[in-house]
Amino acid sequence: MTWRVEIKHRETVFNAFAEGVYKSILDLGVKNIKKAEVIQIFTLEGKLSREDADTISRKLLIDPITQDYCLLSLDGYTPPQKDPYCRAIEIAYNPGVMDPVEQSTIKGIKDLGFLGISSVRTAKLYLLFGDLSEKDAELIVNKVLANKLIQHRVTQASKEKPILDIARENESEVRKVGILEADDKALERLSKDGQLFLNLYEMRAIRNYFKGIKREPTDVELETIAQTWSEHCFHKTFRGDIEYLEKEKGKNKKKIIRSLLKSTIMKATKEIDKKWCVSVFHDNAGVIDFDGKDCVCFKVETHNHPSALEPFGGANTGIGGVIRDTLGTGLGAKPICSTDVFCFAPPDYPFEKLPPGTLHPKRVMKGVVSGVRDYGNKMGIPTVNGAILFDERYIGNPLVYCGNVGIIPKDKVFKETKKGDLIVAIGGKTGRDGIHGATFSSGELTSESEVVSSGAVQIGDPIQEKKVLDALLQARDENLYSAITDCGAGGFSSAVGEMGKDLGAKVFLDKAPLKYKGLRYDEIWISESQERMVLSVNPKNMKRLEEICEVENVEASVLGEFTGNKKLELYFNGKQVCDLDMGFLHEGNPKVVKKAVWTPPKIKEKKFAEPPDLTGSLLKSLSHYNVCSKEWVIRQYDHEVQGGSVIKPLSGADCSAPSDASVIAPKLGLKKGIAISNGINARFGMIDPFWMAASCIDEAIRQIIAVGGCLERIGILDNFCWGNPDKPDRLGGLVRSALGCYEASVGFKVPFISGKDSLYNEYTLGKESIAIPGTVLISAIGIIDDIKKCVTMDFKSAGNLIYIVGETFDEMGGSIYFDTLGELGKDVPTVNFKKASKIFNSLSSAVKKRLICSMHDCSEGGLGVALAEMSFGGGLGLKVDLGKAAYRGKKRQNQRILFSESNSRFVAEVAAKDKNNFEKELKGISFSLIGEVKDNDDFTVQGINKSICIQTKVRALKEAWQKTLRW
């Protein structure tokens, strides 16, 4: 029997969700909407009488204080009467898409004693009041209520389809693909039609391999090779050869780069050779020493393509995925905090300019933030730090970087799969979701992507992953398994293939627990269903592992074993469907040679007269999308769970000013801590990707220095998001940026501990291709010896002295100030690594001696913005004199001193009594005493010609900073 339970909020209770829907519809420009109501629907299937369904509704599904319900048998159900002033629109999940609440609702029903329940589906019925046309309704459905990739509007026709139209009878026919006789054209077609995203050279190598073993491949063999060789899993661009040509000032410099990764990022780490780098570039995440007993690991991933299509699900599974990276590092680390960085087109982007197939950036942003909020909060991992960058060119390809830090005992950092170990899958069941995610990210997006690759989009189940985490850490501490890895892109194919690389693996695909029947063997193998991990378990430990999993309600299934014959053998219902040499799979792909050209852009810069008053410019900079308060986002994340937060993302007397790095103390009650920061600046990269990379490294480091970290204990991660690397100009920028990473890393002696890349971030529309601005994110992790000595950025007391530390140059290129004037500029900030290191070390030493009351780095918006933020952070005024600031540029002007974004600079607040000691610490570096903190609401900046160039109220600065994203 099928029952439909409709649940409605009582009129007397304010329904915030319905109110939110109403506001979003108004935002869309549908002015006729008068009111929205939302009715929650549960469809219960199983052996249930009306009385049973009634009890379930009363005791489980409704809140007796705020809600009423109505129970209908589905057969007798008719949709609400057509009322011209009320449109009833029902939105349900598409067949095959995981319904996030299904699992727990079934558990709740069984707890009540109704074991006959077989399935639960949910839907929402929206009652929209007002004079709305069908066109309005369609618009509202598409823009507000549903994402057609995962949801649909329920109509008479859609109801007649079976609940699971993807369910098929089991089939076990082995399917062969004809490749032996294929010519080049046929090979290319095969790659395209099968969504393999392999190039001709690779397809030829595959044909030759099968010629050698004298048989045609099966479909799953081809899929396995495509996944293993995908850009996402194999990083062909970073590992392959590149012919690089640099055209600067009429001179051509040419060189061959053999593996960009090994000759830049990894090379730097090798040369710096820090003893505290415990496991770098080996594992899911980079591992560094924490306190001698434990290590910490850090990984940042991207989930750009899925987030472009389904922002909530994309970000949701992105954060879920990077958390599994932590769980799969060594023998499993415990996640302790997350960091998230996004790049979007501006939220006020005009609807009419939106390219077909793209979602509006405001919707993307809201969806992405909700996705991170949902997963991070539910797993109980604090999201402590982040950044959001806006630029029009992210319109087709928003960037979603998800980072996670874990802690792991020192003796659990290394793993080794053992011959004879069982292959055990734990966690979620396997469905048809996320098929082709790995290969999908090796291609550009088009307006058809949402149709072709819709299988690549899914929603996560954070509670499932939390259960896996709870079970895993117990099993780890009892030494029940010898290796572990996560199922990410490529699913079992990637996880088992990776773990069995040196040994070989035999897998019985029919042993995998499935979400529904009818999956083909190749689907089981490459499905990217979330929340699954693969363990290598000695058979004698299996029973104990099962006991732990039983208590935690986690499913553990033996899929096969690691054999020792160096082959990948897959079976399904007794038939062999794959028999590949691990050697060919992991090393058989032909090396790619790509061409790269770097030509500096020709940028013309207007001359800017100095406006006498810069108050307006400062206010504009503070309100700039890239500078303004992100409180709307930050407060939706639980940034304090686990109890370790020491410096939160917002600081100051009323918790509303932007902190530099965030600091957590993962072992409660102990003084050792971790600082996390990010450096990102795409505008610098539009001028020169080399200095973008160096500047981002400088920024990430200086944020950690600003809170009291030290250069000696900082490790960094690179994360390149770029356009299509098969286009030489795009790849040229990428190479130049990697070279910048190398120089800066070695210059600062700060090693890379992990990294990642996401390429092909282009959106093709007809003949036009919109590439994102090449964007590198540098994430940094620093070890803090004593959290009690940490410093925040808010001014502490009137009468304290204000210093600017470091040198300001005429480097307005890429600055926020120039952006407010509609200019890019040509003078990108550079870095003097030697001088900068000295500044960092001196300031760390001054913090240790407690000579600094507050400190803030000068980044976007320069000195002006830094001073304003410190002022409203402390609720205190200031008076400074720009004439006293060290300035090394040619055009000495107030606007340049205030808004140049030169690197390696800080503003520090020092008590008058500590003046001499502080200045002694800074001996040999450039610093200037420019003013003092005032006990009032006045923010006064005197210009170089002695006249006042900024005069405003501290609260006006704060308002300018807060108003932009006050949603």
Partner 1 sequence: MSKDVKVLVLRTAGTNCDRETAFAFSSFGAKAECLHINKLIMKKARLDDYHIIAIPGGFTYGDDIESGRILANEISLQLKEQVNKFVRDGKLIIGICNGFQVLVKAGLLPGGKNGSAFYEGGQTATLTNNDSGKFEDRWVHLQVEGKGPWLKGMGKIVYFPVAHAEGKFIPKDDSVLSDLKKNGQIAFRYCSKEGSKPVYPENPNGSVEDIAGITDFSGRILGLMPHPERHFLPEQHPFWTRIKHDEGDGVKIFSNGVNYVKKNLL
- State the Cα–Cα distance between residues 5 and 671, nearest whole angstrom: 53
> Comparing C-alpha atoms, which of 818, 614, 840, 811 is closest to residue 711?
840
**Residue 436 known to be catalytic:** no
Q: Please identify which residue in 231, 552, 819, 921 interacts with partner 1, judged by CB under 8 A.
A: 552
> Comparing C-alpha atoms, which of 666, 654, 650, 679 is closest to residue 748?
679
Q: Supply the minimum distance, in Å, between the C-beta of residue 20 and partner 1.
A: 5
Q: Does 16 bind partner 1 (CB under 8 A)?
A: yes
Q: Does 641 bind partner 1 (CB under 8 A)?
A: yes
From residue 320 to residue 359, the character string flagging contacts with partner 1 as x (rule: CB under 8 A) and all else as - is ----------------------------------------
Q: Please identify which residue in 26, 70, 74, 112 interacts with partner 1, judged by CB under 8 A.
A: 112
Q: Looking at beta carbons only, is 264 or 642 nearer to partner 1?
A: 642
Q: Supply the minimum distance, in Å, between the C-beta of residue 102 and partner 1.
A: 8
Q: Does 790 bind partner 1 (CB under 8 A)?
A: yes
**Residue 639 known to be catalytic:** no
- State the Cα–Cα distance between residues 862 and 865, nearest whole angstrom: 6
Q: Does 293 bind partner 1 (CB under 8 A)?
A: no
The burial class, CB within 10 Å (0-12 / 13-18 / 19+), for 822 is: exposed
Handedness of CA 503, 507, 511, 514 (dihedral sign): positive
- State the Cα–Cα distance between residues 377 and 374, nearest whole angstrom: 6
Q: Does 152 bind partner 1 (CB under 8 A)?
A: no
**86: phi then psi, degrees, rounded to nearest 5:** -140, 115
Q: Does 124 bind partner 1 (CB under 8 A)?
A: no
Stretch (H or E) spanning 372: helix 361-379
Q: Supply the minimum distance, in Å, between the C-beta of residue 469 and partner 1.
A: 10
Q: Please identify which residue in 46, 96, 100, 306 interacts with partner 1, judged by CB under 8 A.
A: 100
> CA angle at residue 119 from 114 to 125, to 5 degrees?
110
Give the DSSP letter of residue 413: S
Q: Supply the minimum distance, in Å, between the C-beta of residue 295 and partner 1.
A: 19
Helix 491-499 × helix 219-228 angle, to 10°: 70
- Binding segment (CB under 8 A) for partner 1, from list 85-93, 271-279, 531-539, 788-796: 788-796
Q: Is 806 left (phi over 0), alpha (psi -120 to 50) or beta?
A: left
The single residue of 9, 152, 232, 639 carrying the catalytic annotation is: 232
Q: Does 467 bind partner 1 (CB under 8 A)?
A: yes
- State the Cα–Cα distance between residues 238 and 776, nearest whole angstrom: 14
Q: Contacts with partner 1 in 53-72 (CB under 8 A)?
A: 59-61, 63-66
Distances from the Cα of 444 to the Cα of 726, 758, 764, angstroms: 11, 11, 7
Q: To which residue do tokens 């005024």 refer?
A: 877
- Binding segment (CB under 8 A) for partner 1, from list 75-83, 548-556, 728-736, 827-835: 548-556
- Binding segment (CB under 8 A) for partner 1, from list 74-82, 153-161, 201-209, 652-660: 652-660
Q: Does 17 bind partner 1 (CB under 8 A)?
A: yes
Q: Looking at beta carbons only, is 463 or 765 nearer to partner 1?
A: 463
CA torsion, ordered 948, 950, 953, 955, to nearest 10 deg:
-160
- State the Cα–Cα distance between residues 341 and 123, nearest whole angstrom: 32
Exposure letters 333-351 (e unless 16+ CB within 10 A, then b): bbbbbbbbbbbbbbbebee
SS3 sequence of 681-722 = CHHHHHHCHHHHHHHHHHHHHHHHHHHCCCHHHEEEEEEEEC
Q: Does 643 bind partner 1 (CB under 8 A)?
A: yes
Q: Contacts with partner 1 in 883-922 (CB under 8 A)?
A: none
- Binding segment (CB under 8 A) for partner 1, from list 396-404, 458-466, 612-620, 952-960: 458-466
The single residue of 9, 235, 282, 303 carrying the catalytic annotation is: 303
Residue 964: both structure tokens together: 């932009």
Q: Looking at beta carbons only, is 254 or 635 nearer to partner 1?
A: 635
Distances from the Cα of 126 to the Cα of 62, 92, 151, angstroms: 18, 11, 14
Q: Supply the minimum distance, in Å, between the C-beta of residue 422 and partner 1.
A: 24
Q: Supply the minimum distance, in Å, between the C-beta of residue 773 and partner 1.
A: 31
Q: Please identify which residue in 49, 73, 104, 158 interacts with partner 1, judged by CB under 8 A.
A: 104
- Binding segment (CB under 8 A) for partner 1, from list 148-156, 417-425, 649-657, 893-901: 649-657
Q: Contacts with partner 1 in 840-869 (CB under 8 A)?
A: 854
Residue 807: both structure tokens together: 């040198």
- State the Cα–Cα distance between residues 252 and 256, nearest whole angstrom: 13
How many residues bind partner 1 (CB under 8 A)? The answer is 68
- Binding segment (CB under 8 A) for partner 1, from list 482-490, 576-584, 665-673, 864-872: 665-673
From residue 362 to residue 401, the character string flagging contacts with partner 1 as x (rule: CB under 8 A) and all else as - is -----------x---xxxx---------------------
Q: Does 652 bind partner 1 (CB under 8 A)?
A: yes
Q: Supply the minimum distance, in Å, between the C-beta of residue 702 and partner 1.
A: 19
- Strands (E) in 432-555, as ranges, are 445-446, 483-486, 505-508, 532-537
Enumerate the active-site residues.
Answer: 232, 303
Residue numbers at the binding site for partner 1 (CB under 8 A)? 13-17, 19-20, 59-61, 63-66, 100-101, 103-105, 107-108, 111-112, 373, 377-380, 461-463, 466-467, 470, 550-553, 634-643, 645-646, 648, 650-653, 655, 665, 668-669, 787-788, 790-792, 794, 796, 854, 874
